[in-house]
Amino acid sequence: MKINKQQLIIGTGLLLAGLLLGWLLFSGPSGDEEHQDHDQLTAEEMEQHILESHTDEEGETIWTCSMHPSVREDGPGQCPICGMDLIPVRDEAREDDYSMVMTEASMRLADVQTSTVIRGLPEKTIDLPGRVRIDERRITNITAHFPGRIIDAKIDFTGAPIQQGEVMATVYSPELVSAQRELLEAARQKERNPRLYESARQKFRFWEFTDEQIDEIEQRGDVQRELEILSPVNGFVTARNIADEQHISEGSVLYEVANLENLWVVLEAYEEDIDWISVGDTMRFRTRTHPGENYEAAVSFIDPVVSPGKRTVGVRADIENPGFRLKPDMLVRGQIDAVMEEEKQMVPVSSVLWSGPRSLVYVKDLSADMPRFEVREVELGPRAGDYYVIEEGVEEGEEVVFHGAFRIDSEMQLADRFSMMNREPGRGAVPAHDHGSAEMNTDDHDATETAGDPDLHEHADVVDGASDEFRQDFLALLKVYISGKEALFSSDFDAAKEAFQQAEEELESIGMHRMDGDAHMKWMQQYEAIEGHLEHILAADDLEGQREGFAALTHILIEAVKNYEIPGVVYHQYCPMEDAHWLSTEEVIENPYAPETMPSCGEVIERIEM
């Protein structure tokens, strides 16, 4: 058969195409192509592995929300809580009761930030109230050494300045009259009997008369009916115990004179601050009279006994007082910069979730492929500025969550895992609630008592020891808390900050040491927790941060309102969509956590009336 030229060209083309195809199919790739195909194969294998791990025992794929892991659906879609796209559950994302896995996207959304556990010498600036006090070593009592009668009290008011040698009073005494006669007689015979003469003069010296006064008696040569009592020191009269024509007895204190050229400054250190302070530490303080003027002195003495009433220890410093600008009993505000002698492990204050006696931190698992956080119960040491000392529970170099910990804890609670308010995981996740309604069946108390947070009332028993005065002061704190809640509902960052700054002032005015017994111990724990949550709110850069701290603050206030039977009516309200609680003086729902999107999401779960 004859082959024409066109057929030859077509055949040759087919042959070359076949050879090229065979080379592509059967020869191994190299270089960048090999690396590219390997990556593609790995991705496919990973996808297949993930799809296999998405299945439950019956082989069905399980879908969840990266922000709400408690959501479990049979197919893709949107989260019923936040509206985010559901993702398949991965093997790596399987958590136990003490951990939570998050995607990078959910971490960014929750703004989760971590900080390394450090080891160093804890430092702390301790703010303490105090007073200026008279140096007790510079107080002189002017005492009567003989019975008699005051003729003329020259210094007749308290506070009068007095100079050494100045006349304070004139006095008549039969003993003085007799002593003058003896002196004049001994003076006439002093050459024959010098010892008698010196004994007569010494008697006046024992009565604190000066040599000049004694010489004057001799020079006059006759007995005077009354003699002058002179001040032995410079200073100010701080007590006057005599008046004209008043009879005095031997040993009576006529005047008290204090030298105010040197004073004491005594700060009141609370029990938890005692171990921080040592003799020699630098004390800085200022007065209300001269708020722009700073004073500095060294701690010279620490009282060995705790004041039973105030539960404080006096920390004293000596200070010079030129010009008498400092006055005894002036109120001062002092600071002491203290450093521990031993190195400790420390974490940022905001990383510690503290509810009553429990302290939790969330530790990042640095070995996990996906962000995984483990909850740890830690033994909390003293606070050191912006850090807490951790005695046990974390190791140096580990990373703890210092921003977003409340969000993770919320998800742990929602998923019925171990969390700040749930120490018994597995009892059943937080129940769903209808939202948008402000109505509540007040008769169904048992049903609403634990709604939204089954552990919220665990420590809410009444504690004996709270006074009516404390309850009224706490009401002032609760009032500004409500103002802060209203500001958050209005999404007013500045107004919220101002309200919680006022709350910080109200808390400081209440003080830590207001009660006795169990109430004292309970309030000490709650005081520090409230203080820490307020600091978290005030340090926030945005409304989200303020609301995060507000959520934690609410838990403590709900507990305290019940512990101390704070009078009045408040409504404990709860939004299941945000898994968030708050207190309100009105029954109507105004959700401070999501006012733009869900302003009426929530319900009254308890009416608290004392």
Same domain, 159 and 201: yes
Residue 131 and residue 33 share a domain = no
User: Given the structure tokens 């985010």, which residue do they identify?
Assistant: 84
Question: How far is 592 from 601, CA to CA, in rounded Å?
Answer: 10
Is the torsion defined by CA of 498, 499, 501, 502 positive or negative?
Answer: positive
Answer yes or no: is 404 within a domain: no
Is 516 a domain residue? Answer: yes
* pLDDT at 66 > cutoff 70: no
Q: Which of 368, 351, 361 is nearest to 102 (CA)?
A: 368
CATH number of the domain that residue 267 is part of: 2.40.30.170
Q: Which pLDDT belongs to residue 272?
A: 77
pLDDT at 453 over 70: no
| Strand bridging mode 379-384 / 113-116 | unpaired
**Contact yes or no for 89/129 (Cβ under 8 A):** no
Residue 131, in any domain of the structure: yes
**112-162: pLDDT as tens digits:** 899 999 999 999 888 888 999 999 999 999 999 999 999 999 999 999 999
pLDDT value of residue 82: 64
* 20, pLDDT greater than 90: no
pLDDT at position 481 over 60: yes
Rounded to whole angstroms, what are the CA distances from 383 to 58, 340, 527, 528?
A: 52, 11, 13, 10
> What's the pLDDT at 11?
52
Q: Which of 339, 370, 390 is the last residue of a domain?
A: 339
Q: Taking residues 396-419, what's their average pLDDT?
A: 84
In this structure, the answer to whether residues 453 and 592 fall within a common structural domain is: yes
Give pLDDT, residue 488: 95
Edge-to-edge strand list for the sheet holding 253-258? 139-143, 253-258, 235-240, 161-162
User: What's the confidence (pLDDT) of residue 40?
Assistant: 39
Judgement on whether residues 487 and 601 belong to the same structural domain of the protein: yes
User: Whole-angstrom Cα distance, residue 148 to residue 152?
Assistant: 12
My answer on whether 472 and 521 are in the same domain is yes
Are the CB atoms for 279 and 124 separated by under 8 Å?
A: no
pLDDT at 430: 44
Q: What was the pLDDT predicted at 94?
A: 43
Could you tell me the CATH number of the domain that includes residue 219?
2.40.50.100
Would you state the structure tokens that stand for residue 289, as one six-digit string?
């009279």
The two tokens of residue 37 are 């195909």
Q: Residue 570 above 60 pLDDT?
A: yes
| Same domain assignment for residues 190 and 329 | no
Query: Whole-prediction pTM value?
Result: 0.54
Query: 355 pLDDT exceeds 80?
Result: no
Backbone angles phi, psi at 136, to 5 degrees: -60, -25
Binned at pLDDT 50, 70 and 90, residue 317 comes out as very high
Question: Is there a domain that residue 108 lies in?
Answer: no
CA distance 145 to 516: 47
* Helix%, strand%, coil% for the chain, nearest 5: 35, 30, 40
Distances (CA, A) of 448 to 420, 552, 574, 594: 20, 20, 11, 22
Does residue 248 register a pLDDT over 90?
yes
pLDDT tens-place string over residues 162-197: 999 999 999 999 999 999 999 999 999 888 899 999
What CA–CA distances, in Å, run from 430 to 71, 421, 498, 578?
12, 11, 34, 12
- Same domain flag for 230 and 267: no
Helix (H) or strand (E) holding 236: strand 235-240
| Any domain includes 64 | no
Predicted local confidence at residue 313, as pLDDT: 93
Quote the pLDDT of residue 70. 60
Question: Rounded CA gap, 506 and 477, in Å?
Answer: 5
**Closest to 276 measured CA to CA, from 117, 389, 116:** 389
pLDDT for the residue 456: 44
In a domain, 117, yes or no: no
Tokens of residue 270, six digits: 């609370």
pLDDT band at 42 (very low <50, low <70, confident <90, very high): very low
Does residue 403 lie in a domain region?
no
pLDDT for the residue 58: 59
271 located within any domain? yes
Do 173 and 280 reside in the same domain of the chain?
no
pLDDT at 10 over 80: no
The rounded distance, in Å, linking the Cα atoms of 254 and 58 is 99
Give me 140's structure tokens.
Answer: 């002189």
pLDDT for residue 548: 84
d(CA 376, CA 423): 12
Whether 45 shows a pLDDT value over 70: the answer reads no
Least confident of 135-149, 279-293, 404-418, 462-476: 404-418
178 in the same domain as 213 = yes
**Are 243 and 328 members of one domain?**
no
For residue 519, what pLDDT is reported? 77
Confidence of residue 18 (pLDDT cuts 50, 70, 90): low
Residue 312 has pLDDT above 50, yes or no: yes
The parent domain of residue 41 ranges over 5-51
**Long-range contact list for 249-254, CB < 8 A, 24+ apart?**
249/144, 249/147, 250/144, 250/145, 250/146, 250/147, 251/143, 251/144, 251/145, 252/143, 252/144, 253/141, 253/142, 253/143, 254/142, 254/143, 254/144, 254/150, 254/168, 254/169, 254/229
**Mean model confidence pLDDT for the chain:** 81
Give the mean model confidence (pLDDT) for residues 13-29.
Answer: 48
Please write the tens of the pLDDT for every residue from 83-120: 677 777 654 444 578 888 887 777 777 788 999 999 99
Q: 213, 182 in Cβ contact below 8 A?
A: no
As beta bridge partners, residue 604 has 573
Q: Are 590 and 526 within one domain?
A: yes
Structural domain tally of the chain? 4
Q: What is the mean pLDDT of residues 485-493?
A: 94
Exposed e or buried b for every residue in 54-88, given b needs 16+ CB within 10 A?
beeeeeebbbbbbbbbbbebeeeeebebeebebbe
pLDDT value, residue 369: 81
Question: Domain check: are 180 and 289 in the same one?
Answer: no
The pLDDT tens digits of the residues spanning 264-288 come to 999 999 887 888 899 999 999 999 8
- Which among 258, 276, 302 is the end of a domain? 258
- Alpha-helical (H) ranges within 127-226 are 174-188, 194-206, 211-220
Q: 557 vs 448, which has greater pLDDT? A: 557
Among 207, 242, 258, residue at a domain's last position: 258
Instruction: Reduce the DSSP state of residue 343 to 3 states and report it.
Output: coil
* Spatial distance between the Cα atoms of 104 and 110, rounded to a whole number of angstroms: 10
